[in-house]
């Protein structure tokens, strides 16, 4: 069977874990060759000091039916990103999908003002979550636009509408996630004449490795965490946002989304894909209408 993205080349920048890993694996399941980058390898851990590695992600891509290529890259280092793109060009001759999912922050200073925050770490957060995306786009986009139909996905937290009305965690976190939303908007204007598309995409409440650990559950028994946090019932697996990227990448009319802020739940309703449990959680609609409205947790009609 010919897969929808057979022959397509993707770069998932920041694919070691969480949404990046989910996106890489789903692109592989659709037949793509996926370059998966990050700082943590089998022999080296990043400052996050977590066990997930880019080699593991690449193997999961292979098992899904694609081809995973792990490349250790610090996306704050322009020379490393330049060499990554040169390698993709030499090995593949082109690039069809760029997913900027780089984050890498190790702590959140919840509810702290800018003057209460650790300034050094706050600025580092901006470098990790914003500057990395700019560096990667600078080097990767000349390769992506060589042929029409390229897709750039800027992964963030929150839709443009939600983030415009709501304070997100802290000054530096809020700024970083808003910047990525705007980055997709700006890239859309720059890419349009090259017949390429840029969007921002947010998952909902993501069941990342770190989140599952925090609740003391696994992907198999995650519903047990709702006893501690009832609204966790709206959460989604990393595969869900991955399937959103696949839906965009195989849409011949993807340019209709150029510059738009999108969510996994929104795209599931439009394209018809589901999460791994067969549901379609619409977290951002739920957050507004149920969680933020102070209503009891009830996902009826939202997944």
The H-assigned helical ranges of the chain are 18-29, 54-64, 78-92, 119-126, 132-144, 160-165, 171-191, 209-215, 238-249, 264-271, 283-286
Asked whether 242 and 24 are in contact (CB, 8 A), the reply is yes
Q: Which two tokens stand for residue 256?
A: 């209709």
Percentage, residues of the chain above pLDDT 70: 99
Q: At what angle do helices 119-126 and 171-191 cross, to 10 degrees?
A: 20
Mean of pLDDT values over 20-32: 98
What pLDDT shows up at residue 275? Answer: 98
Q: Exposure of 182 by Cβ count < 10 A (0-12 exposed, 13-18 middle, 19+ buried)?
A: middle
Tens digits of per-residue pLDDT, 169-227?
999 999 999 999 999 999 999 999 999 999 999 999 999 999 999 999 999 999 999 99
Q: What are phi and psi of 159, to 5 degrees?
A: -80, 165
- Whether 6 has a pLDDT exceeding 90, the answer reads yes
Q: What are phi and psi of 166, to 5 degrees?
A: -130, 140
- Whether 229 has a pLDDT exceeding 90, the answer reads yes
- Whether 152 has a pLDDT exceeding 90, the answer reads yes
Tens digits of per-residue pLDDT, 237-262?
999 999 999 999 999 999 999 999 99
Q: How confident is the model at residue 1 (pLDDT cuts 50, 70, 90)?
A: low
Tens digits of per-residue pLDDT, 41-58?
999 988 888 889 999 999
Mean of pLDDT values over 7-32: 98
What pLDDT shows up at residue 183? Answer: 98
Q: Which domains are seen in the chain, by residue range?
A: 9-291 (3.40.50.720)
Task: State how far the Cα of 231 lies from the Cα of 228, in Å rounded to an integer.
Answer: 9
Mean of pLDDT values over 264-293: 97
Task: State how far the Cα of 179 lies from the Cα of 126, in Å rounded to an integer.
Answer: 9
- Whether 236 has a pLDDT exceeding 80, the answer reads yes
- From residue 71, give the alpha-carbon distance in Å to each of 91, 114, 117, 133, 254: 13, 35, 34, 17, 28
Whole-model pTM: value is 0.97
Q: Which of 33, 66, 37, 74 is nearest to 53 (CA)?
A: 37
- From residue 205, give the alpha-carbon distance in Å to each of 178, 208, 229, 232, 300: 18, 9, 12, 7, 16
């Amino acid at each position: 069977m010919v897969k929808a993205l057979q022959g397509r080349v993707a770069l998932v920048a920041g694919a070691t874990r969480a949404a990046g890993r989910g996106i890489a694996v789903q692109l592989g399941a659709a037949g793509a060759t996926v370059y998966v980058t990050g700082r943590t390898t089998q022999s080296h851990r990043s400052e996050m000091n977590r066990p997930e590695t880019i080699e593991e992600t690449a193997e999961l891509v292979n098992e899904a039916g694609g081809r995973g290529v792990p490349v250790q890259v610090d996306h704050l280092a322009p020379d490393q990103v330049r060499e990554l793109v040169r390698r993709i060009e030499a090995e593949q001759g082109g690039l069809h999908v760029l997913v900027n999912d780089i984050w890498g922050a190790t702590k959140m200073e919840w509810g702290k003002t800018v003057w209460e925050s650790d300034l050094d770490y706050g600025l580092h957060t901006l470098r990790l979550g914003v500057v990395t995306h700019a560096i990667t786009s600078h080097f990767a986009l000349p390769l992506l636009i060589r042929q029409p139909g390229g897709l750039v996905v800027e992964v963030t937290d929150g839709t443009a509408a939600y983030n415009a009305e709501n304070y997100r965690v802290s000054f530096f976190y809020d700024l970083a996630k808003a910047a990525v939303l705007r980055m997709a908007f700006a890239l859309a204007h720059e890419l349009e004449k090259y017949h390429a598309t840029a969007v921002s995409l947010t998952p909902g409440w993501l069941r990342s490795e770190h989140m599952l650990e925090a609740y003391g559950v696994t992907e198999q028994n995650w519903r047990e965490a709702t006893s501690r946090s009832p609204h966790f019932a709206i959460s989604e697996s990393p595969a869900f946002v991955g399937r959103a990227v696949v839906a965009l990448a195989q849409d011949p009319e993807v340019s209709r989304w150029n510059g738009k802020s999108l969510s996994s739940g929104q795209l599931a309703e439009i394209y018809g894909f589901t999460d791994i449990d067969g549901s379609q959680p619409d977290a951002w609609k739920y957050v507004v209408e149920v969680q933020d409205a102070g209503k009891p947790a009830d996902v009826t009609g939202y997944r």
